Chain A
Amino acid sequence: MTAYTMPDERGRFGNYGGQFVPELLMPALIELEEAYEEAVNDPHFHRQFHHYLQHYVGRETPLYFAEQLTSLLGGPDIYLKREDLNHTGAHKINNTIGQALLALRMGKKKIVAETGAGQHGVATATVCALFGLQCTIFMGKEDAERQKLNIFRMELLGAEVRTVSQGSGTLKDATNEALRYWVSHVDDTHYILGSAVGPHPFPKIVRDFQSVIGKETKRQMMEQAGKLPEAIVACVGGGSNSIGMFYPFIKEENVRLFGVEAAGHGIETNKHAATLTKGKQGVLHGSLSKLLQNEDGQIQEAFSISAGLDYPGVGPEHSYLQKIGRVTYTAITDEEALEAFQFLAKSEGIIPALESAHAVAFAIKLAKEMKTGESLVVCLSGRGDKDVEQVKQRLEGR
């Protein structure tokens, strides 16, 4: 592949992306884009960002050769990129550190954010505490019930959490409310969008901040194995950990990339969150991408055991990477993810987030098709402590 330079100056990844927002928000998006371009070209900003990633977040995260998993599956060498070891327990903080620093550069002292599983909300509340920013988090009612402890966590960190009962009470509805709040407070508030979705420049900014995952992985693979992996697997809800992992590898044509969506009860049912597998083109939350929607263009509810994958849209760059055939997207059911959740716990002593368990489940399948001597990297995007109670209830209930 020749140089990959997406998005273009209109914020498009091929056909996908763009800025489908009310005029009221356009000046803020233009301001954000300018502030970001200025920051990217400022060595001080890079030093600041990496300072906090190293000393506060605890990067770099290990690329761990999973010996047990490898010998149990008897195929390729399996490596886990341990994003679960970041401060706050997931990759989300890579982006919130970067965006909070941008907010400070823009002189904005107030932050609004949406959250699904609560990981992005916690990561946002954390950086707001760190940098003295006022923080408001919107969370769907359904998600709030699934992730009660994360609400208390956010409140401990000084954030105000507002639960959203509109719609299905999940991430989509929380994002609607966060956008409405931003529309009303745009003069002094920055919106820290948590996934690689939304209007330009958010998909690019989130990708760039998260691409530390892929950059480290590339270097660590060379150090440990002396070569790049044959395959990389990451889960896709909105798609921030996956795009951060994939982006530095897009030009490496010999590295196969796999994005794993949530199949919920199965993609043949109407209870899933497999946007790329089953969705159609459309506009949601400011960008053109693939969506779960009915034939009249009404957005449908997504469904997954994992609150972080429970979103009917997906980042526009993923839609593009699927279209050009660079990344293969597949889906894993709730049941398969639960199996993988337990399997990784028992085999490696690592309890993954339910989101990441989808990636693990697909890696187990993929390993069967790969050869000994090849290597496979799984992005372990978060830790599973937040999911333990839900999994317990689920396992006892059946």
Chain B
Amino acid sequence: MGKERIDKIFREKLAAKEKLFVPYMMAGDGGLDTLEEKIAFLEKCGVSAIELGIPFSDPIADGPVIQQAGIRALESGTTLASVLEKLSVIRKKYTVPIILMSYINPIFQYGIEKFARDCFASGVDGVIIPDIPMEEEGIISPHLAAYGIACIRLAAMTSPPDRIKKIAERTEGFLYAVSVMGTTGARNAYAENISAYLRQLKENSPVPVLAGFGVSSGKQARYLSQYCDGVIVGSKIVDLFFKGKREEIKRLIESSLSGEPLTEKVKFP
């Protein structure tokens, strides 16, 4: 449970020379009733963990695809409370680690301590909060720690070495490497220094490093995975779920995990 479940499953996969693949989906997009079968589907596809987004009215770190998914989820009545409640019912049937991604304000209104307690009760293993940098994490990290829930920190390409060192030392479960200068969503290319950035994170991090933001194809996933332990794919998965293209999700995951490893720099069309 919690941080330990993430650590154990990631360790096993990496020991078997597999890369990690974490899809992001918006809870409540398509209605909260579809949550369970989506989790079941993704687990069957062999993902390493599932990142579950909580909708927020003002998601400043997200691009248009996730913004729209959030609006749809809110319109269908999804709240942090209803997601936690749903998870408490369905969680036990699945072993895949579940990580919540939420902006701080819905958590703040829910009550931070209550949030940590209910995450534990609902079988949530880790939490990602994109608008909490280290300077502000004191309001939540001790509560998550008390319940053994991983507080997953994010590093950015703008982070100087001293910040990267501190973020990597503190993160739990994995280190989230934001791999573009910008918001979530598909990109055609990465910055020149992406490999150096990911290598630097790997050198500093005691836990696996996953690259996220701007990853939308198997080829991109394999490219980034050369330099770290795997990827998080968000907008693309959200979009494919919305369009009902399950087969494409399956192919994307397969291609990310089992395609030919890329050893040289690729150009994206």
Contacts and interface: CB of A to CB of B under 8 A. Distances in A.
B158 A282 contact: no
Interface residues on A, range: 35 or more
Given A180-B60, A284-B105, A296 B79 contact: yes
B217 interface: no
A23 interface: yes
Interface of B: 56-61, 63, 67, 74, 79-81, 103-110, 130-136, 153-160, 163, 167, 178, 181-183
B109 A282 contact: yes
Contacts of A286: 131
Contacts of A183: 60-61, 181-183
A28 interface: yes
* A-side interface mostly: mixed
A24 B131 contact: no
Interface string A334-358: 0000000000000000000000000
Given A180-B183, A183-B183, A296-B80, A26 B133 contact: yes
A310 B32 CA distance: 33
Contacts of B136: 18-20
A187 interface: yes
A170 to B, nearest CB: 12
Given A186-B158, A296-B80, A21 B109 contact: no
Interface of A: 10, 18-28, 166-167, 172, 176, 179-180, 183-187, 280-286, 291, 293, 295-299
A108 to B, nearest CB: 14
Given A186-B181, A282-B108, A298-B57, A23 B160 contact: no
Given A184-B183, A297-B106, A297-B109, A23 B159 contact: yes
A24 B58 contact: no
A23 B104 contact: no
A19 B135 CA distance: 7
A27 B133 contact: no
Contacts of B81: 296
B60 A283 contact: no
Contacts of A18: 135-136
B132 to A, nearest CB: 7
A116 to B, nearest CB: 15
